[in-house]
Structure 1
Amino acid sequence: MQSNELPKELAARRIDRPVPLREHVYQAMQELIISRRLAPGQHLVESELAQMLGVSRQPVREALQWLNNEGWVDLRPGYGAFVHAPTQDEADQLLAVRSLLESESARLAAVHADAEGIARLRDLNRQGIEALASDDVDTAVALNAAVHRCVTELSGNKVLLDFATQVDRRVRWYYTPIARQRGEQSWQEHAKLIDAIENRDADAAARIMKEHTERTRKSYLEQRVEDGEDDQQLIALPTRRRRKAAKA
């Protein structure tokens, strides 16, 4: 009979490896983009990023390629790297999908959530209100994401959680510029949602979540119009000329 155990020489090769530096740089740059410290359309200079992050240019170059592959950065031959500026369609489509996913998460959470999970939701919401009161936008955005993630975790559906995790960072990116605009109303909507989950009212929880995410989507699109961010402006190439090749 064939053994299911790995040969000892193979099992012995399993080792814990430290996270590559480029991954740390990737994560740091992604957070800077999400928080809008690196703004959409901003030119990213390798040497400046390396100095700011305290690393060499190589991991920065690798992180930029990674961010480009995932749609956070645009690499434009002859011009350089730029923070991706999402078009209206990109944002609209992602936020619409988010609304569908999280409405179902809320419905399931009302069926499966226990007292401990509901208490965790209320605590996160309380912290969010406090962050809003102190005008701590970064913390408020992070706690907003935490509330939504907690609802999805309480749904008990791991597939939903996987999908929600994939769109979470992008949602934070879109939510950051409207966090103050949504303000107290957003956290009041969270409180109503938590009440519905605690009352085991699945239909109400799904409806409240759908209305809540749709308001965020509408606020983001309205903010783009107010800021004059038409798609043509966002995707335009910079006006600087390509550098001429140095003479031999």
Structure 2
Amino acid sequence: MTTISAGATDPISPGVRHVKRPTPLRESVYEALTEMIIDGTLERGRHLVEVELAGMLGVSRQPVREALQRLNNEGWVDLRPGFGAMVHVPAEDEVDQLLAARAALESESARLAARHATKDDVARLKELCKVGTAYHEAGDIDGAVRTNGELHSLITQMSGNRFLVDFAAQVDRRVRWYYTPVAPVRGAASWREHNRLVKAIEVGDEDKAAQTMREHTEHTRKAYHDLQAGSTAEPATDPDPAPRTRRRRTT
């Protein structure tokens, strides 16, 4: 008779699979708070009170406290001794650094996407452009921002470079956070730039695709700084103006 010493584990029979456990509550709270910061529900500079957040999410204070600590470690929240937590307010040089990194990553992604694009890939890009433009014209900023992210993500995936995909994923949420306030300002110009980018990818013009993406990200960077300086005018950088049916502005 075989005995198993204390602390030993039973062997796993062939074919047995562990069932994935539900997402830990602290992880779900972290994800929810991150998205609320990105979409502006929790605006920049807002004082975050644990009991209020717990009530909003229908959880206890403990997972909120754990989530806030993680958000602080990742730069979404600032924890101040004696005062509590506040949604981080990005400094302009912080935005510049991230958007510069994004420009480098995505211009190379666009170049490689132009090299490897299939007809199906291009069709998906064109469809996203249509959807994003429709969201913009309907005044649906959240939909436009979400579709913008999907288009940029697809182009990165089309590059075929898994490291670019990994690096881009690391900055994606932060880019969405920075882009959301300027989406109403960039508006139609942004989607016209997307269409020109897709055309360059479709015809396999690698240099044009990279250049267009670089200019596109620069326009977003400039719009962000203009907005921070109190300007809500759409940057006059688009050489291919088109009529707008409706435009939503920030105040």
Same fold (TM over 0.5): yes
User: C-alpha separation between the residues in 2 aligned to 1:124 and 1:63?
Assistant: 33
Q: Are the structure 2 counterparts of residues 200 and 42 from structure 1 closer, same or farther at C-alpha, using a change threshold of 3 Å?
A: same
Q: Which residue of 2 aligns with 1:9?
A: 11
Q: Does 1 or 2 have the higher relative contact order (CA < 8 Å, sep 6+)?
A: 1
- Report Cα offsets for 1:22-57 as digits up to 9, x if no partner: 111111100010011111110000011111111111
Matching residue's letter, 1:148: H
Quote how far apart the aligned CAs of 1:226 are. Answer: 1.1
- Report Cα offsets for 1:60-108 as digits up to 9, x if no partner: 1111111111110111110001001111111010001100110000000
User: C-alpha separation between the residues in 1 aligned to 2:130 and 2:58?
Assistant: 36
Q: Which residue of 1 aligns with 2:249?
A: none
Q: Are the structure 2 counterparts of residues 208 and 49 from structure 1 closer, same or farther at C-alpha, using a change threshold of 3 Å?
A: same
1:162 aligns with 2:152: no
Q: Which runs of 5+ in 1 are unaligned?
A: 1-6, 228-248
Q: TM-score, normalised by structure 1?
A: 0.86
Q: Are the structure 2 counterparts of residues 122 and 65 from structure 1 closer, same or farther at C-alpha, using a change threshold of 3 Å?
A: same
User: C-alpha separation between the residues in 2 aligned to 1:15 and 1:47?
Assistant: 33
What percent identity do the matched residue pairs reach? 58
- Report Cα offsets for 1:148-184 as digits up to 9, x if no partner: 0010011111100100010000000000111010000
1:128 to 132, 135, 148: 132
Matching residue's letter, 1:209: M
2:55 to 51, 56, 64: 51
Q: Which residue of 1 aligns with 2:146?
A: 142
User: C-alpha separation between the residues in 1 aligned to 2:126 and 2:28?
Assistant: 32
Quote how far apart the aligned CAs of 1:116 are. Answer: 0.7
Quote how far apart the aligned CAs of 1:117 are. Answer: 0.8
1:27 aligns with 2:31: yes
Q: Which residue of 2 aligns with 1:199?
A: 203
Aligned-residue RMSD, C-alpha: 1.5
Quote how far apart the aligned CAs of 1:15 are. Answer: 4.2
User: SS at the partner of 1:36?
Assistant: coil
1:176 aligns with 2:180: yes
Which aligned pairs between 1:74-85 and structure 2 lie closer than 5 A?
74-85=78-89
**1 or 2, which has the higher helix percentage?**
1
1:109 to 103, 106, 113: 113
Q: Which residue of 2 aligns with 1:243?
A: none
User: C-alpha separation between the residues in 2 aligned to 1:211 and 1:141?
Assistant: 18
User: C-alpha separation between the residues in 2 aligned to 1:99 and 1:194?
Assistant: 17
1:94 aligns with 2:98: yes
1:211 aligns with 2:220: no
Q: TM-score, normalised by structure 2?
A: 0.85
Quote how far apart the aligned CAs of 1:9 are. Answer: 2.0
User: SS at the partner of 2:43?
Assistant: coil
Matching residue's letter, 1:9: P
1:18 aligns with 2:22: yes
User: C-alpha separation between the residues in 2 aligned to 1:79 and 1:9?
Assistant: 52
Matching residue's letter, 1:170: R
User: C-alpha separation between the residues in 2 aligned to 1:212 and 1:178?
Assistant: 13
Matching residue's letter, 1:141: V
Matching residue's letter, 1:172: R
Aligned residues: 221
User: SS at the partner of 2:123?
Assistant: helix
